[in-house]
C-alpha cells in the first residue's frame, strides 16, 4: 500500500526572507503549517471547528533539515505525508521542494503534532472519527 501525499504550492514573499535574501529559517515551519492546515481542510475539517469542539493540534516536536536556500519569489511545493497516527498525535513527514521540473529538495522535516484538550492544554485522545479517517485515507 502506498502512502498518499498532499501537495500545497507556496511562493516566497519578501517578508519571508532575511537580510541575505533567503527564506528565514523559522519561516519554513510556517510553510509546513500551511501544508498541514490545507491538508486538514482537504479532509473537510477546519481548525476553528475542532477548536469549537474543544480540541486543537499543537506542534510537539520538529526535526528539520535545511538543504538548499529558497529565495524571494521562488515557487515551492509543500509535500505532506502521514508517517503514523497515534492515540494523541500524528507524525507528519514533510518536504519543501522547488516547483519546477527538477523539484530540488530544499528542506525536510518530521513533525509530531499532538491533539490537545483546549480546557486543560494537555494531550487528549484524538476523536475516533478523525483518527479513523486519517488512518483509512492516509496511512
Residue 111 has pLDDT above 60, yes or no: yes
| pLDDT exceeds cutoff 90 at 43 | no
Q: Which of 6-15, 59-68, 125-134 has the lowest mean pLDDT?
A: 125-134
3-class DSSP state for residue 126? coil
Mean pLDDT, the chain, integer: 92
CB atoms within 10 A of CB 35: 24
What are residue 90's DSSP bridge partners?
Answer: 85, 113
Q: What is the pTM of this model?
A: 0.91
pLDDT at 36 over 90: yes
51: enclosing H helix or E strand: helix 47-52
**DSSP 8-state class, residue 2:** P
**In angstroms, rounded to a whole number, what is the distance separating the alpha carbons of residues 132 and 35?**
21
Residue 56: pLDDT over 80: yes
Give the pLDDT band (50/70/90) at residue 1. very low
| Mean pLDDT, range 40-56, rounded to an integer | 87
Rounded mean pLDDT, 21-28: 97
What the chain holds in terms of domains, given with CATH numbers, is 6-138 (3.10.129.10)
Q: What residues are labeled active site?
A: 18
Residue 139 has a pLDDT of 58
Amino acid at each position: 500500500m502506498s502512502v498518499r501525499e498532499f501537495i500545497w504550492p507556496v511562493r516566497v514573499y519578501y517578508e519571508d526572507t532575511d537580510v541575505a535574501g533567503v527564506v528565514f529559517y523559522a519561516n519554513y515551519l510556517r510553510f509546513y503549517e500551511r501544508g498541514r492546515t490545507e491538508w486538514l481542510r482537504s479532509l473537510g475539517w477546519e481548525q476553528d471547528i475542532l477548536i469549537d469542539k474543544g480540541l486543537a493540534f499543537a506542534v510537539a516536536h520538529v526535526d528539520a533539515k535545511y538543504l538548499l536556500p529558497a529565495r524571494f519569489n521562488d515557487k515551492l511545493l509543500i509535500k505532506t505525508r502521514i508517517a503514523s497516527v497515534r492515540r494523541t498525535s500524528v507524525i507528519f513527514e514533510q518536504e519543501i521542494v522547488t516547483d519546477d521540473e527538477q523539484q530540488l529538495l530544499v528542506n525536510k522535516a518530521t513533525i509530531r503534532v499532538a491533539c490537545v484538550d483546549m480546557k486543560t492544554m494537555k494531550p487528549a485522545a484524538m476523536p475516533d472519527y478523525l483518527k479513523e479517517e486519517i488512518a483509512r485515507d492516509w496511512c
